């Protein structure tokens, strides 16, 4: 009986430690997300809903007769394409899922991560992180192919013709920025570690682009942390100075 009591006490103690650790890691994040979702339902995450719908739409269209050509013309990026064409297609390429992967996984990832990011970071910063980190991966692909297979970060020239689409880079980047904002260091570290292991064990373009997206996301997170309210304060000061100047001008006008 004593042994059972002792074992139960150990399990209870471990459970309490786990609960405290989980609260410290995800408490603030869970509270903010739950409040918005309970109060506003889907209205709290219109960006995530639209992004998920786009991924589903492109997935359906590209499997229809003639749909693959249409999707390719508007949203498929390859390093072999001219740079201006790649830049024009990059915004939509984020929502074009890979042909050889189950789309339901992509839908779940986009809705969950975009939704959490939209609530925690706001729509504007969520879009900035998603598109800038996706663009960073797209540009890296061109640089890696130019470096060639003999360089540490290079790839063979045939990689230039590999389809480079999907939301995974944006999802990884947003997860890192949200973790940084909420100080969920273990979660952010787990994402970085998982992507690093993937790139080492499966050395391909997608894995390297994930690391590029993470690096870009960390830079954005640090920039926002340090200078996030700098320009709003500057603009506010300029507006206040302009108001004072206008008031002074009216006062001296006869």
> pTM value?
0.81
* Residue 18, both tokens: 């786990």
Q: What is the mean pLDDT of residues 115-119?
A: 91
Are residues 119 and 38 in contact, defined by beta-carbon separation less than 8 angstroms? no
44 — pLDDT class (breaks 50, 70, 90): confident
* Residue 122 backbone zone (phi > 0: left; psi -120 to 50: alpha; other: beta): left
248 — pLDDT class (breaks 50, 70, 90): very low
| Predicted pLDDT at 72 | 92
What stretches of the chain adopt beta strand conformation (E)? Answer: none
Q: What is the C-alpha separation between 57 and 95, in angstroms, rounded?
A: 9
What's the chain's average pLDDT? 83
Residue of higher predicted confidence among 116 and 247: 116
Q: What is the C-alpha separation between 5 and 187, in angstroms, rounded?
A: 34
> Which residue, chain included where needed, has tokens 């360089």?
151
Q: Residue 240 pLDDT more than 50?
A: yes
- Gyration radius from the chain CA atoms: 23
Q: What is the C-alpha separation between 90 and 119, in angstroms, rounded?
A: 24
Q: What is the mean pLDDT of residues 95-120?
A: 88
| Predicted pLDDT at 203 | 86
Q: Residue 118 pLDDT more than 60?
A: yes
The string of DSSP codes covering 175-220 is: HHHHHHHHT-HHHHHHHHHHHHHHHHHS-SHHHHHHHHHHHHHHHH
Q: Give 3-state DSSP helix, strand, coil % of the chain, rounded to 5.
A: 80, 0, 20
| Predicted pLDDT at 249 | 44
Output DSSP code: residue 148: -
Q: Which of 2-11, 186-195, 218-227 has the least mean pLDDT?
A: 2-11
Q: What pLDDT digit, counting tens, does each position of 123-138 carry?
A: 899 999 999 999 999 9
CA-nearest of 91, 99, 126, 90 to 110 is 126
Instruction: Say which residues have a Cβ less than 8 Å from residue 37's Cβ, sequence separation at least 6.
Output: 44, 45, 119
């Amino acid at each position: 009986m004593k042994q059972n009591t002792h074992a139960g006490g150990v399990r209870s103690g471990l459970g309490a430690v786990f609960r405290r650790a989980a609260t410290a890691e995800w408490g603030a994040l869970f509270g903010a997300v739950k409040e918005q979702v309970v109060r506003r339902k889907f209205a709290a995450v219109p960006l995530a809903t639209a992004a998920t719908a786009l991924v589903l739409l492109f997935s359906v269209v590209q499997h229809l007769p003639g749909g693959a050509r249409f999707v390719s013309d508007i949203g498929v990026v390859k390093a072999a394409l001219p740079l201006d064409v790649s830049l024009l297609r990059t915004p939509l390429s984020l929502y074009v899922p890979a042909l050889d992967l189950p789309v339901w996984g992509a839908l779940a990832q986009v809705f969950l991560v975009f939704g959490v990011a939209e609530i925690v970071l706001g729509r504007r910063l969520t879009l900035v992180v998603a598109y800038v980190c996706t663009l960073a991966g797209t540009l890296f692909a061109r640089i890696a192919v130019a470096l060639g297979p003999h360089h540490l970060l290079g790839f063979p020239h045939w990689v230039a013709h590999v389809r480079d689409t999907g939301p995974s880079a944006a999802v990884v980047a947003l997860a890192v920025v949200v973790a940084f904002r909420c100080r969920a260091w273990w979660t952010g570290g787990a994402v970085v570690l998982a992507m690093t292991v993937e790139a080492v064990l499966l050395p391909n373009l997608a894995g390297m682009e994930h690391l590029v997206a993470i690096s870009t996301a960390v830079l954005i997170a640090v920039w926002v942390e340090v200078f996030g309210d700098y320009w709003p304060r500057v603009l506010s000061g300029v507006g206040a100075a302009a108001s004072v100047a206008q008031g002074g001008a009216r006062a001296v006008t006869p």
